[in-house]
């Protein structure tokens, strides 16, 4: 199938001072086929949210290319780029802070429809809002409710309805379930998957929860300090993780099965600063396989098997 | 049981017994029934997991044990909490202050807010030592501060730093150091790793396990993560709407062949599996009931797929099989398969 969105060497640096740059996203190449889901995993501070926000234009990229439907979005004029905005949406992590507390559910869902002048009459607008509410499983009695009157799961449904309002093709899901309880989390995951099937949506699913990402994604990209360290089809990545960081990440998940005590090979240390990073593999300081080669030059992503790519000197 | 007899005797000393604990919050909107008749006990060196979703009453149970419920609203209505046979509920504030920190201490959920941003971490560890060792001078206690920091894997020279100079995982280690300063016999950990990344979570859980062995501490582990429970606990209490709906040894709760409470089954089904191939999750329908307005009968009945007429009111059957207890009418008939119809 045809790819819907692609990035080439995408970079986003935040300037901290005259000499210091925070390398949030540092040369990411990815492509997502239409109707598929790319899962992006990594620990806090690895740049996964910045990547998502940069792709849909909430952050201005420092350099690189973002191809969407055959056009490089970063080269378009502001007005032409705006036309693409409605096709790319985002669902935010925290439904407690991403909704305006002073707007009712109706106002929240109608906002994108009003600002894009989709409907001519109020009647059409009301119909569209109730249609969206029904679609995301929100009872009509909530139409005049305010966010504080609803629980986290329903709030997240409002967030999803807002993202779906303009019939987008690509949705960045930025940790949409991590603020929710497990039973509610499962409801939202099912809803997102139903929507994808029904509307042929393409997702980029950002999360730190590996079991959720395995469930949702076709392909998974593992990020560490702004760079992609491994990319593979979901089942393959879990069956055969190659990069030492991916291995450590998988080993660290506590399994709800007794007897399988946690792997004692826990990686030491913590994620280092993404400010003016030294060349070479960024995981080197925590890696037990670290050799001089790792810190000499940047380690590029290499194809090991079909569609399985890894950035590590251990694999040639 | 692979313990030696000697170990068995030592380990059956009851550190904490909670019986029929009922706690409420008196708010403007009405009485919130947060904990409704919870009973459990912890032996020496044992870890019990309190599992459940937001609003299940896990944290309120912990705060009631520590007597840290908000003074104006929170209230323990009835029940008994005994620490090594000694009733805690009749103790006055001064007596409780001697117990808190020295005998029972608590690790809070969010290390970002649990530390005082205006004190160095060394001072914060020293503070809890000084309160319980008033006969000793600062000079005598200072080596202990260093020792505690090293114990949780932080170089002692960093005691002069403030909390904001540490990462989340390190802050949680400092909170653990403070909690362990006086070598309490019971540690209450309220979602100690929820705010942390998985690799850091693994480090912190490992550290807690090591320290537990070293200091023979008993622990109450409050969490919503069944994975964490499987890795750390000996006993499990599954809580729903302020009640323990299922209670048993870890092996009993995680054994799929045994009968279980429908809520426990729902909790397990709602987690996406890392190994299975199911494409669709089976969430528990509906929402946690409003604790100010709990349903009659079984609190879970509006969400339960196996709900029967008699679940909607009256007393609910309490199944008991050795240490395994389930509060559910389905257990009434057929003790083995647990199905009524």
ipTM value for the complex: 0.79
Q: Where are the domains of chain A?
A: 3-87+167-278, 102-165
Residues of chain B positioned with their CB less than 8 A from the CB of A251: 202
On the question of pLDDT at B55 being above 50, the answer is: yes
B1 pLDDT band (50/70/90 cuts)? very low
Please give the mean pLDDT across all residues of chain A.
Answer: 90
Domain ranges of chain B: 261-331
Q: What is the pLDDT of residue B20?
A: 95
pTM for the full predicted model: 0.84
Structure tokens at B91: 């103790």
Å between A225 CA and nearest CA of chain B: 14
Determine, for residues A181 and B53 on separate chains, whether the beta-carbon distance falls below 8 Å.
yes
User: Considering only alpha carbons, which residue of chain B is nearest residue A260?
Assistant: B231
Q: What average pLDDT does the segment B121-141 reach?
A: 92
Distance CA A267, CA A136 (A): 40
Nearest-Cα distance to chain B for A214, in Å, is 7
Chain A touched by B21 (CB under 8 Å)? no
Give the number of beta-carbon pairs within 8 Å between A and B. Answer: 113
Q: Which CATH class is domain A3-87+167-278?
A: alpha beta
Predicted pLDDT at A270 = 73
Weakest mean pLDDT among B30-34, B61-65, B155-159, B196-200: B196-200
Three-class DSSP category at A300: coil
Please name the member of A151, A185, A258 whose beta carbon is closest to the beta carbon of B287: A151
pLDDT tens digits, residue range A110-128?
A: 999 999 999 999 999 999 9
State the best of A95, A152, A156, A186 to mutate against chain B, taking most chain B CBs within 10 Å.
A186
If contacts are CB pairs under 8 Å, which of residues 14-73 in chain A contact chain B?
43-44
Q: Hey, is the C-beta of B225 within 8 angstroms of any chain A C-beta?
A: yes
Mapped to the 3 state alphabet, what secondary structure does chain B carry? CCCCHHHHHHHCCEEEEEEEEEEEEEECCEEEEEEEEEEEEEECCCEEEEECCCCCCHHHHHHHHHCCCCCCCEEEEEEEEEECCEECCCCCHHHHHHHECCCEEEECCCHHHHCCCCCCHHHHHHHHHHHHCCCCCHHHHHHHHHHHHHHCCCCHHHHHCCHHHCCHHHHHHHHHHHHHCCCCCEEEEECCCCCCCHHHHHHHHHHHHHHHHHHCCEEEEEECCHHHHHHHCCEEEEEECCEEEEEEEHHHHCCCCCCCCHHHHHHHHHCCCCCCCCCCCCCCCCCCCCCCCCCCCCCCHHHCCCCCHHHHCCCCCEEEECCEEEECHHHCCCCCCCCCC
Residue pLDDT, tens place only, B20-52: 999 999 988 889 999 999 999 999 999 999 998
Q: What is the pLDDT of residues A135-177, one digit of tens each?
A: 999 989 999 999 998 888 899 999 999 999 999 999 999 999 8
Instruction: Name residues whose C-beta falls within 8 Å of residue B95's C-beta, 6 or more positions apart in sequence.
Output: none
Residue of B nearest to A182 (CA): B270
Phi, psi of B41 (to 5 degrees): -140, 155
pLDDT (0 to 100) of residue B276: 65
A11 pLDDT more than 50: yes
- Closest CA–CA distance from residue A31 to any residue of chain B (Å): 24
């Amino acid at each position: 199938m045809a790819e819907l969105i692609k990035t080439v060497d995408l970079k986003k640096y935040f300037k901290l001072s005259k000499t210091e740059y925070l390398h949030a996203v540092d040369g990411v190449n990815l492509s997502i086929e239409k109707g598929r889901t790319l899962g992006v995993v990594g620990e806090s501070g690895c740049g996964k949210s910045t990547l998502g926000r940069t792709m849909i234009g909430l952050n201005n990229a420092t350099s690189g290319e973002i191809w969407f439907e055959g056009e490089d979005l970063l080269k378009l004029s502001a007005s032409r780029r705006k036309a693409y905005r409605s096709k790319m949406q985002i669902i935010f992590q925290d439904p407690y802070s991403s909704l305006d507390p002073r707007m009712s559910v109706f106002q929240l869902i109608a906002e994108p429809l009003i600002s894009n002048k989709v409907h001519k009459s109020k009647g059409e607008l009301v119909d569209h809002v109730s249609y969206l509410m029904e679609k995301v499983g929100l009872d009509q009695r909530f139409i005049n409710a305010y966010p504080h009157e609803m629980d986290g799961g329903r709030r997240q449904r409002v967030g999803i309805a807002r993202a779906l309002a303009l019939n987008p093709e690509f949705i960045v899901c930025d940790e949409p379930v991590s603020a929710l309880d497990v039973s509610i989390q499962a409801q939202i995951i099912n809803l997102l998957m139903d929507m994808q099937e029904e509307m042929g949506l393409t997702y980029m699913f950002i999360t730190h929860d590996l079991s959720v990402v395995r469930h949702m994604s076709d392909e998974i990209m593992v990020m560490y300090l702004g760079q992609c360290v491994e990319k593979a089809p979901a089942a393959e990545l879990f069956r055969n993780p190659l990069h030492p960081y991916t291995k450590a990440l998988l080993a660290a998940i506590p399994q709800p099965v007794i007897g399988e005590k946690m792997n004692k090979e826990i990686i030491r240390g913590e994620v280092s600063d993404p400010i003016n990073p030294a060349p070479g593999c960024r995981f080197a300081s925590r890696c037990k396989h670290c050799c001089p080669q790792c810190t000499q030059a940047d380690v590029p992503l290499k194809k090991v098997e079909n569609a399985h790519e890894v950035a590590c000197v251990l694999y040639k | 049981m692979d313990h030696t007899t000697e170990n068995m005797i030592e380990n059956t000393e009851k550190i904490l017994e909670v019986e029929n604990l009922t706690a409420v919050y008196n708010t403007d909107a009405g009485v919130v029934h947060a904990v409704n008749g919870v009973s459990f006990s912890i032996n020496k060196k044992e870890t019990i997991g309190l599992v459940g979703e937001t609003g299940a009453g896990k944290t309120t149970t912990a705060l009631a044990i520590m007597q840290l419920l908000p003074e104006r609203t929170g209230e323990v209505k009835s029940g008994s909490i005994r620490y090594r046979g000694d009733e805690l509920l009749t103790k006055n504030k001064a007596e409780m202050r001697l117990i808190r920190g020295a005998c029972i201490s608590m690790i809070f959920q969010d290390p970002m807010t649990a530390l005082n941003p205006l004190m160095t971490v060394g001072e914060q560890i020293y503070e809890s030592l000084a309160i319980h060792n008033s006969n000793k001078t600062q000079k005598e206690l200072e080596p202990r501060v260093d020792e505690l920091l090293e114990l949780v894997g932080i170089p002692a020279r960093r005691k002069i730093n403030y909390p904001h100079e540490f990462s989340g995982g390190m802050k949680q280690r400092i909170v653990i150091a403070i909690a362990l300063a006086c070598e309490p016999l019971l540690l209450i950990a309220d979602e100690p790793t929820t705010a942390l990344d998985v690799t850091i979570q693994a480090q912190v859980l490992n550290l807690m396990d090591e320290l537990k062995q070293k200091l023979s501490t008993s622990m109450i582990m409050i969490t919503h993560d069944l994975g964490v429970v499987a890795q750390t606990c000996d006993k499990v209490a599954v809580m729903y709407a302020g009640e323990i709906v299922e209670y048993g040894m870890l092996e009993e709760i995680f054994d799929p062949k045994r009968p279980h409470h429908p809520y426990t089954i729902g909790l397990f089904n709602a987690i996406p599996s890392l190994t299975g191939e199911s494409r669709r999750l089976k969430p528990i329908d509906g929402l946690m009931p409003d604790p100010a307005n709990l349903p009659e009968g079984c609190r879970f009945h509006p969400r339960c797929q196996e709900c029967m007429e008699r679940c909607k009111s009256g007393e609910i059957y309490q199944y008991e099989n050795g240490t395994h207890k389930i509060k559910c009418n389905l257990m009434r008939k057929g003790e083995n398969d647990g199905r009524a119809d």
